[in-house]
Amino acid sequence: MPRRLARELSALDGTVVRIGGHLEDYRALGGVAFAIVRDGSGTVQVTLKKGSTDPALFALLETLPRESVLRVDGTVRRSEKARRGVELVPSAIEVLSAAEVPLPLGVVDKVGAELDTRLNHRVLDLRKPGVRQVFELRSALLAGLRHAFRARGFLEVETPKLLRQGAEGGATLFPVEYFEERAYLAQSPQLYKQMLMSAGFERVFEIAPAFRAEPSDTVRHITEFTSLDAEMAYIDSADDLRTALEGILADAIGEARGALAGLGHPLAAALPEVRTPFPRFPFREVEGWLGRPGADRDLSTEDEKKVGEVAEKEHGASFYYITEFPTAVKIATFYARRQDDHPDLTGYFDLGYRGLELASGGPREHRLARLLDNFRAAGVDTAGFAGYLEAFRFGMPPHGGWGLGLDRLVWVLAGVANIREARLFPRDRYRLEP
């Protein structure tokens, strides 16, 4: 007999079915007992009645620990008192796996647990319907993003995650032993995205893990994250990139919202209706908001929060761009193109959402001589970049792109308190398990 899911039973009145799931609760009230069995789609009320149910089934469930895994065969019956409007009257119950006691973390308890406790026992934490909903939202966003990219002619690619050199210097790289050599975990697919522009791929995107060895311990930083990266060739200006990025986000979030709403998902209403174009605020203007005009200093976390407050209160903008980052701020980003008419400025931008940086990008330098000048200005030795630089020696079109933190996007859209809640098994400065 094939297994049926909890969400399917409302249409199966009178049908003999098999279900499987975790025992969430068991209550005996006189001659009637109720077992709540939970699967990935919801819960089923299994109703046992003395006189019509095998007494051995009562005895089995009375001593069975919560969260044990069951298989139940029975008949679906309509019931106004049951949560889904139906109950399952059992003919057979099999224990597939008994849970140990006590549970280190309650799954349906009303009392909350500290995040560290939840992450230490993540498998139990992920059984909670509210926690699972975050990852259902994440899955819907990923589907929407892929669809939005493909609709615009982007090719999905996979680039190496073991590198000889990092795109952003060695301070935030994780070294690994690679046979007789030292390699590094990729911070970004940046160099390979650009090389693909020279290869004639023209529009690419990648959704893949990235690693950053920053010793941060905040609600917005993790060391292993999912980066959504894109690169486009033959651009005329940074606005080509911004227009593509905001359109992709608007379409993806709208598609995810529609898909979740169709399932009656609780988080569908949390996804905003994204209106484009997003407002653009030049960096020089933002410096004025922060009371430091002309400082040419990169934005701190507190600066980002202040910018988000001004953007929302004074401009009614949840999503917004900070544009035209000064060259002095991006000097270490050797691949960032300086503006020809204003070499003290780049076309680089950040995408913000309510005080949180979600994405960063801009036009890249495609001219080899100027790229080498940028290397020298950044104090970066070109010796380890032979493969990257070769792509510029044989014809490189004007191009640019961006990188967006998927975990941050899920975190803010799901409304959870910490970015770690947006990853199944997060990694940070102190956590390598489970």
Work out the burial of residue 315: count CB atoms within 10 Å of its CB; fewer than 13 is exposed, 13-18 middle, 19 or more buried.
exposed
Mean pLDDT of 164-180: 80
Nearest to 352 by CA among 258, 423, 290, 286: 286
> In this structure, are residues 357 and 304 in contact, taking their beta carbons and an 8 Å threshold?
yes
Give the tens place of pLDDT for each residue, 57-81: 999 999 999 999 999 999 999 998 8
d(CA 197, CA 365) in angstroms, rounded, equals: 12
Nearest to 201 by CA among 161, 154, 244: 154
* pLDDT for 415 beyond 70: yes
* pLDDT for 185 beyond 60: yes
In Å, how far from its chain's centre is CA 153? 23
* Dihedral of the alpha carbons of 107, 111, 117, 118, in degrees to the nearest 10: 40
Cα–Cα–Cα angle for 415, 322, 256, nearest 5°?
35
d(CA 34, CA 347) in angstroms, rounded, equals: 64
Write down the pTM of the prediction: 0.93
* pLDDT for 147 beyond 70: yes
148 DSSP assignment:
H
Check residue 296 and give its pLDDT: 87
Q: Which helix (H) or strand (E) holds 41?
A: none
Amino acid identity for residue 3 in this structure: R
Give the tens place of pLDDT for each residue, 316-353: 999 999 999 999 999 999 999 999 999 999 999 999 99
Mean pLDDT of 394-404: 98
CATH superfamily of 126-422: Bira Bifunctional Protein; Domain 2 (3.30.930.10)
Give me the residue label for tokens 């035209």: 324
Give the tens place of pLDDT for each residue, 246-294: 999 999 999 999 999 999 999 999 899 999 999 999 999 999 999 998 7
Percent of the chain whose predicted confidence (pLDDT) is above 90: 90
> Which ranges of 121-237 would DSSP assign to H, the alpha helix?
122-126, 129-151, 190-198
Check residue 69 and give its pLDDT: 98
Nearest to 38 by CA among 116, 129, 135: 129
Strand 155-156 to 203-211 pairing: parallel
d(CA 207, CA 195) in angstroms, rounded, equals: 17
CA-to-CA separations, 107 to 19, 60, 95, 130, in angstroms, rounded: 20, 21, 19, 10
Domain residue spans of the chain: 6-97, 126-422
* pLDDT for 168 beyond 70: no
When computed from its CA atoms, the radius of gyration of the chain, rounded to whole angstroms, is 27
CATH superfamily of 6-97: Nucleic acid-binding proteins (2.40.50.140)
Domains 6-97 and 126-422 share a fold: no
Check residue 258 and give its pLDDT: 97
* pLDDT for 100 beyond 60: yes
Strand 280-282 to 224-233 pairing: unpaired
Check residue 76 and give its pLDDT: 96
Structure tokens at 181: 């050599």
Q: Place 170 in a pLDDT band, splitting at 50, 70 and 90.
A: low
